[in-house]
C-alpha cells in the first residue's frame, strides 16, 4: 500500500481532481487502530492478574515476557501450512496462549507452595522437585488436546473443515513450544530470577498461616460461616504492604477494564454519529453543512482564502477556479468555512477566468476561507440530506 501511495503522489491530476485510497484498506486501518488499543489494555490486565496471582512483580514479568515463546510453534505452523495468519489461526493462538498461561501459573505457584508451606529452600532442588511433580499434569494436558485435534489435521482441509483445520495445526504447533516453555524454560528462569527476599514479618505471617489449620483441627471444626469469615480475613489480611499491593492491583485492573469499555463505547458512538448534519438558515434558501472530523478527513476538504489583487489595473477578488461550482440554473457558488467543521454556500459573480484563477466581480469578503477541494461533495451532501433537488 505504501508503493501505491507513493505512485499516486507522483501523478498530476487535472483541475478539481485528487486521489484517495478508500474501501477495505481504510476500514482495515481504523479497525487495526482500535484493536491495538484493546490489545494494550488486555496486556496490562494480564500482567496485573499475574502479579495478583504471584504477589511479585518480578515473577509476573517473568511469566508475561516468556509467553510469546509459547506461541512460536503456532505461528510457524500457520505460515508453514498457508503462509497467512487467518482468523482461525488467531483463534488457535488464543487457545495456546490460554493453555500456556494456565500451566505457567500452576507451575510457579507450586514452586511458591513448596518454598513457603513445605519449607523447601530455594534452589535447584526446589525447582527440580516442583517440575517433576507438575510434569505429568502439563504433559497430559498437551497430549489430551493434541490427540483430540489429530484427526482434524490428518483429514486435512476437506469441505466443512476450512476453519478447524488451520486452527488445529496452530494449536498442535503451539502445544509443542508451550510444553517446552513450561518444562524447561520457566524452571530455568525461575531459578535465575525467582528468589524473593521476604522480611521477618512476612516469614512470621506465613508460619502463622501454616499453624492455623492445625490449631483449628485440634479445637473444633469451624462452620460454613466461620470458614467464610476466615477466608475473607486471609484475603484482606497480611502486612500493610501486601494489602496495599492487592488494592493497587485491583484498582489498576478496574481502570484497565474501564478504559477498554470507554474505548469500545467511543468507537460505537463514532459509528452511530451521522457524518453530516444540515441546519437550515431561517429566511433564506441556504443551509449550514456541519461535518464530523472523520467526514472532513474522508472528503479531504481543502480551503484557501479569498485574495484581492490588481487585475488589469483594477483591484478585484481572486479565488482558485476549482472552488466554483454551478447549479442547474447556471448560478455560481462557493462554499465558505466560517468555523471549524462548518461550511456554508455563498453566491459569487465571475468576471472572467484567468488560467486556474477566477476573477470575481462580487463574492465573499477578502480573507474568507473557501473550499477549493471537495465543494461538489458538500453540495451533494447538503441537498441530499435536506431533501431538496439539485
Q: Assign residue 39 the CATH number of its domain.
A: 1.20.1640.10
The answer to whether residues 192 and 340 belong to one domain is no
Task: Answer yes or no: is pLDDT of 214 > 60.
Answer: no
* Residues ≥6 apart with Cβ < 8 Å to 76: 173
Work out the mean pLDDT of the chain and round it to a whole number: 78
Whether residue 195 is predicted with pLDDT greater than 80 in this model: the reply is no
Of 248, 270, 292, the residue that ends a domain is 270
Q: Which helix (H) or strand (E) holds 361?
A: strand 357-362
Instruction: List own/partner pairs for 78-85 with CB under 8 A and 24 or more apart.
Output: 78/166, 78/169, 78/170, 78/173, 81/166, 81/169, 82/166
Contact status, residue 228 vs residue 17, Cβ threshold 8 Å: no
18 and 46 part of one domain: yes
The residues, ordered by sequence, that sit 6+ positions from 183 with a Cβ below 8 Å of its Cβ are 131, 135, 138, 139
| Closest alpha carbon to 107 in 40, 143, 53 | 53
pLDDT band for 234, please (50, 70, 90 cuts).
Answer: very low
Same structural domain, 363 and 240 = no
Q: Cell numbers 465573499 label which residue?
A: 364
Rounded to an integer, the average pLDDT of 235-244 is: 48
pLDDT band at 223 (very low <50, low <70, confident <90, very high): low
Of 270, 297, 320, the position where a domain reaches its end is: 270
Whether residues 91 and 201 share a domain: the answer is: yes
For the domain that residue 370 is a member of, what is the CATH number?
2.40.420.20
Q: In the chain, how many H helices and how many E strands?
A: 12, 10
Instruction: Give the model confidence (pLDDT) of 294-339 as tens digits.
Output: 888 888 888 999 998 888 788 889 999 889 998 888 899 999 999 8
Residue 128 has pLDDT above 90, yes or no: yes
Same domain (yes/no): 100, 210: yes
Shared domain for 262 and 280, answered yes or no, is no
Tell me the pLDDT tens digit for each residue of 89-102.
888 888 888 888 88
Same domain, 299 and 213: no
CA distance 234 to 213: 12
The string over 78-98, giving b where at least 16 C-beta atoms fall within 10 Å of a residue's C-beta and e elsewhere, is beebeeebbebbeebbbbbbe
Structural domain harbouring 308: 276-386
Q: Please tell me the distance from the alpha carbon of residue 156 to that of residue 268, in angstroms, as a whole number.
A: 39
The mean per-residue pLDDT over the stretch 160-185 comes to 87
The verdict on 138 and 97 lying in the same domain is: yes
Listed range (147-151, 280-284, 329-333) with the worst mean pLDDT: 280-284
Residue 14 to residues 18, 218, 260, 264, 379: CA-CA distances in angstroms?
8, 94, 45, 41, 20
Higher pLDDT, 234 or 185: 185
User: If DSSP codes are grouped into helix, strand and coil, which group holds residue 387?
Assistant: coil
> Are 80 and 197 within one domain?
yes
Angle at Cα 148 formed by Cα 144 and Cα 153, nearest 5°?
130
24-54 vs 57-81: helix crossing angle, rounded to 10: 140
Residues 261 and 331 both lie in one domain: no
Residues 251 and 282 in one domain: no
Of the residues 270, 288, 317, the one at which a domain ends = 270
66-70, 217-221, 374-378: the lowest-pLDDT one = 217-221
Provide the number of structural domains found in the chain. Answer: 2
Pair 294, 351 in one domain:
yes
Q: Which helix (H) or strand (E) holds 111?
A: helix 87-116
Q: What is the pLDDT at residue 13?
A: 72
Amino acid at each position: 500500500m505504501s508503493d501505491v501511495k507513493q505512485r499516486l503522489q507522483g501523478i498530476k491530476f487535472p483541475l478539481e481532481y485528487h486521489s484517495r485510497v478508500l474501501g477495505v484498506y481504510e476500514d482495515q486501518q481504523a479497525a487495526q487502530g482500535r484493536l491495538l488499543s484493546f490489545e494494550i489494555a488486555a496486556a496490562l490486565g494480564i500482567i496485573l492478574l499475574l502479579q495478583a496471582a504471584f504477589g511479585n512483580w518480578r515473577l509476573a514479568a517473568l511469566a508475561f515476557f516468556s509467553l510469546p515463546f509459547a506461541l512460536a510453534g503456532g505461528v510457524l505452523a500457520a505460515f508453514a501450512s498457508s503462509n497467512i495468519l487467518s482468523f482461525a489461526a488467531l483463534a488457535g493462538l488464543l487457545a495456546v496462549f490460554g493453555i500456556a498461561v494456565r500451566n505457567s501459573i500452576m507451575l510457579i505457584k507450586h514452586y511458591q507452595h513448596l518454598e513457603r508451606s513445605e519449607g523447601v529452600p530455594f534452589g535447584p532442588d526446589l525447582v527440580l522437585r516442583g517440575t517433576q511433580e507438575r510434569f505429568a499434569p502439563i504433559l497430559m494436558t498437551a497430549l489430551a488436546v493434541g490427540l483430540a485435534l489429530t484427526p482434524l489435521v490428518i483429514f486435512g482441509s476437506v469441505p466443512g473443515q476450512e476453519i478447524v483445520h488451520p486452527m488445529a495445526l496452530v494449536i498442535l504447533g503451539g502445544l509443542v513450544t508451550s510444553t517446552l516453555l513450561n518444562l524447561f524454560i520457566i524452571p530455568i528462569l525461575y531459578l535465575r530470577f525467582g528468589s524473593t527476599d521476604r522480611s521477618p514479618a512476612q516469614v512470621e505471617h506465613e508460619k502463622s498461616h501454616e499453624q492455623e489449620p492445625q490449631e483449628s483441627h485440634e479445637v473444633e471444626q469451624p462452620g460454613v460461616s466461620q470458614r467464610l469469615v476466615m477466608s475473607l480475613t486471609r484475603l484482606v489480611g497480611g502486612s500493610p504492604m501486601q494489602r496495599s499491593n492487592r488494592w493497587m492491583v485491583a484498582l489498576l485492573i478496574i481502570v484497565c477494564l474501564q478504559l477498554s469499555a470507554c474505548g469500545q463505547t467511543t468507537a460505537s458512538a463514532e459509528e452511530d454519529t451521522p457524518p453530516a448534519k444540515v441546519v437550515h438558515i431561517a429566511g433564506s434558501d441556504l443551509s449550514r453543512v456541519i461535518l464530523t472530523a472523520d467526514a472532513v478527513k474522508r472528503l479531504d476538504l481543502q480551503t484557501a482564502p479569498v485574495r484581492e489583487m490588481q487585475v488589469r489595473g483594477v483591484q478585484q477578488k481572486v479565488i482558485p477556479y476549482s472552488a466554483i461550482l454551478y447549479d442547474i440554473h447556471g448560478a455560481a457558488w462557493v462554499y465558505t468555512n466560517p468555523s471549524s467543521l462548518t461550511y456554508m454556500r455563498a453566491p459569487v459573480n465571475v468576471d472572467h477566468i484567468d488560467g486556474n484563477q477566477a476573477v470575481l466581480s462580487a463574492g465573499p469578503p477578502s480573507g474568507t476561507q473557501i473550499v477549493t477541494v471537495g465543494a461538489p461533495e458538500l453540495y451533494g451532501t447538503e441537498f441530499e440530506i435536506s431533501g431538496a433537488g439539485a
